[in-house]
Structure 1
Amino acid sequence: MHDIRAIRENPAAFDAALARRAVAPVSAQILALDEDRRSKINAAETAQADQNRASKEVGAAKARGDEAEFARLRALVADKKAEVARLMAEAGAEDAALRDLLMTIPNLPSADAPDGADETGNVELKRWGTPRAFAFAPREHYQLPAVQGGMDFATAAKLSGARFVVLSGAVARVQRALAQYMLDLHIDRHGLTETWTPVLVRPEMMFGTGQLPKFGEDSYQTTDGWWLVPTAEVTLTNTVNGETVDEATLPRRLVAHTQCFRSEAGSAGRDTAGMLRQHQFEKVEMVSITRPEDSVAEHERMTQCAEAVLEGLDLPYRRIVLCTGDMGFGAVKTHDLEVWLPGQNTYREISSVSNCGDFQARRMNARYRPAGGGKPDFVHTLNGSGLAVGRCLIAVLENGQEADGSVTLPAALHPYLGGKTRLSAEGALV
């Protein structure tokens, strides 16, 4: 959410920043609501003062036997009381309308985020690793003989419908090994705190991180009001919802491995083959909660944490910075990591790491108390995939595929697989 004071002070700059995200000017509407709300509050305060004065005079009029003045003042008190109630109700309605409007406006991009209308405006920052030269035509993950028995879309469709998968045997074990490897790397090398959180949350938690109200169709809601998390960003970030934490406790660096759920609204016909785009999937999610002055450096550090997973698995990737037209709703700046998938002969997103500034903190009312004293300030929040486990499985399978249908697995996974190094063409760990 946005700081109304900053909009009052420089509405033109606010509209100009939103224009970089192709959002029409909205400051005039915001300020009109704000002015109307404040005028109602001022009028209510004036009426309250009138009511208080009349209330004091009622007793005096009664004491001196002035019945006419007593009746007039008593009527005035009643009128002012009703006026105060009406004005405060109107101000409350204006306040709710203003809050609802601010809740739908995306974050302002950082000055160094590239301008662009869509993904074609994204800018590649670097590449790591060289895509393997195959002596045969590489296949997509779901076409590999090594996974045919362990990646079952037909049974998943019977159980749940499209965009689900049943993993079993060696394939399921490799996916579990990937998640464990990611967690161990982030905990042992990167100093993140492992956290286990619910996957069902209250609506206000979805509001806090920006999934609601604008993007409700992208997630699933239960019949009793809970929402299934689209990512552990929701739970990890909201651990400071409504709190004022001590500066000494920052930064807070958290990591969680969870099931995630997305309706994939608007993605009909995209990536329908295989398990690239699923309604239910696993992610290892990183969240950092920092002081404002630390968030830019923390964004780079988190990006490197995600890159370390890919480098440890020897998976070629590239880092891109998203343009203003492709950034997520709550982001100030976003780095995407795209892993090389030889079966598709292209790079595909496997991690998105975003600095949200104080945007989510304002929605959550999450602040920190400066160590040297002074007024509490909003924290900055960051989130990123470290990584999407299913997509990492796809990358491992496709990059490690052999001509005979087997898959050579990355050395980093061998300790998690009992020393086994390959998936045979028959789907066994060997």
Structure 2
Amino acid sequence: MLNALLEIQNCFKSYKNIHSAFESSCKHMGEFLDAHRIVIFDRRFDEERDEAYISFYHEWADVGRPLRYSTNQVPRRLYLDDIYKAYNQIAVESFFVLYPDRLNKKVDPTLREFYRDSDIKSVLILPIIVHNEIWGSFTVHDLDIERDFEADGTVQRAVYLAGEISSFIERVRQYNKRVLTQLDDHSYRMESLGRMAASIAHEINNPIFLIGGFATRIEQIFEEGDVEKKSEEVLRCLDLIQKSCKKTSNIIEGLRLMSRPTKRDELEVCDLKDIINRTVDISKERLQFDKIEIIKEFNDDQEFLVECKPGQLSQVLTNLVNNSFDSLIEKDIKRWIKIECTKTDSCVKLSFTDAGQRPSDDIIKNMIEPFYTTKPPGKGTGLGLSLCKEIIKRFNGNFDVDRTSEFMKFDIELPLISFDEDE
């Protein structure tokens, strides 16, 4: 039992990601508490009901014992009010023990049905309190007997463990806050540009080659003395030269935007579609080479004005493009990335979607947490999406995963900047 506790403490010292720490430590928690199943829930908020609820976060089951929650067998959200009414206790103040076979008709029917259909005989539930607020709950299951958790010392050990979990979550929160606050996202921009260096060079060389070719053709026309006869061809060549110059200028402006040091990146009122266009121009060649179609859906005649630091917002889009590229390049499907931009009276919404399938709810819950990554070792730091969220948060916006989309989709909302006509 002591060895199990030491393993738990080592996990909490080694990991900076909460979900990863639970994955490694829950089996030791089960041994420490002599449990058949350990389930951890976190507290979330239902905006429609204006009410908090407990959501499944992580589950472990002993060898030969079934998983109950991670297999999506939970009938619906378990709201805190339901739980408090059912057990007539307040989780913040204490623990409570539940014996499903003894539940009476006064208990919430959904809870009663859930426990009746399960194989749980005894449940010990403790709150996880972080910074004087309920973070979630820590639940211990015995699947064989109605167990007296107090008499056998399990309550005492579980209370100690819940305290260790609370301290660990608080340390991780503080560490992540410090990392994201101090992180020089300029280095991330340089890393992103480094990954795209070859395609950027090719992207610039193409219009330069065209400019040289059209200029040579105009020179030939003048040397042949056929300027009047071939005036339409000359004008067409000049038009294509202008377009190539504009394309090169956009790419260079995108590079300037990305490479500008963070300290010189000031808050500005910008048109979001301009940042999108410049960022996409940098990546276009690489995406086209690997047959990834880029789709932009927004009205070019509309302004999508937001207050931001352009270089940092460009970094958010570049991170998303790079993530999509890494994901799609491995898939034998029709590859595409879609960027949509709309606005309401109060906000601008940018939706970034790619052809990849939406991941499991378990991954979605954790993918924006710092240091969480599904990429192979050495391929990702687990900071890209958390940095995106932190940057958008600095601009009073929201960054989240769309859990209803069939595909991998991120939604970004930023406050709309509007000017009165008489200003």
TM-score w.r.t. length of structure 1? 0.24
Highest RCO, 1 vs 2 (Cα 8 Å, sep ≥ 6): 1
TM-score w.r.t. length of structure 2? 0.24
